[in-house]
Amino acid sequence: MPVTAEHTVTVQNLLTAFEGESNANAKYTRFAVRADADGLHGAASLFRAAARAEQIHAANHARVIKQLGGEARCEIHAVEVKTTLENLHTALGGELYEVDTMYPGFLEEATAHNNTSAMRTFTFALEAEKTHARLYGEAIALLEAGKKDSWIGTAKDFFVCPVCGYTSETPEEHDRCPVCNCPWAKFEVIR
Ligand SMILES: [Fe+2]
Ligand SMILES: [Fe+2]
């Protein structure tokens, strides 16, 4: 089934989001290795948790692309790895772009066409990226204050919703995921 004219822009947006999430996954995976090398094992855990969440977003987007008759394919770009502080700023910048600009625009377009599957996957990603932005912001503040004895210095558990990618540093924060209602017991523990 080819993509219908009605869904052309939505599918284009889904492909852009799929590419963004796939590349964020690749980027954060490399940033985690660098954070471990810098002795910032908690920051490394955060990068790994966020990388897993981006993988969930990419898979969700891919499913909808297929539903609408498209094919989820993208290029993975070379990753520029700098210091962990710089990598955290890069990561935060990407998350803020998605939260403030990219996903709200995509969500608006999908809503205008009443495409509920696209609305759902964009909303899940938008809400999960807010949790990443918050956690990256906290890590940056701690690192800039020289507080390597805080959580950024020690490997720690993060909890990732397997459905929407919502990411938390707290075990059993809620009974259910506040974004998608998935039971908290199903959350993945990433360290
Ligand atoms: Fe993210
Ligand atoms: Fe969720």
Ligand lying closest to the C-alpha of residue 176: 2
List the shell of residues around ion ligand 1, using CB closer than 5 Å: 129, 132
pLDDT digits (tens, 9 = 90+) for 6-37: 899 999 999 999 999 999 999 999 999 999 99
| Segments of the chain with pLDDT less than 70 | none
Amino acid at residue number 4: T
pLDDT for residue 2 = 82
Ligand lying closest to the C-alpha of residue 159: 2
pLDDT for residue 170 = 94
CA of 44 to the centre of ligand 2 (A): 22
List alpha helices for the chain, DSSP H: 8-37, 41-67, 84-97, 103-112, 116-144
> Rounded distance, CA 109 to CA 173, Å?
33
pLDDT for residue 174 = 86
| Residues 98, 107 contacting (CB under 8 angstroms) | no
Q: Residue 176 carries which DSSP code?
A: B
CA of 5 to the centre of ligand 2 (A): 31
- The CA–CA distances, whole Å, from 175 to 156, 166, 171, 182, 186 equal 21, 14, 10, 9, 10
Nearest residue to 129 via CA among 101, 148, 110: 101
pLDDT for residue 173 = 79
- State if pTM tops 0.75: yes
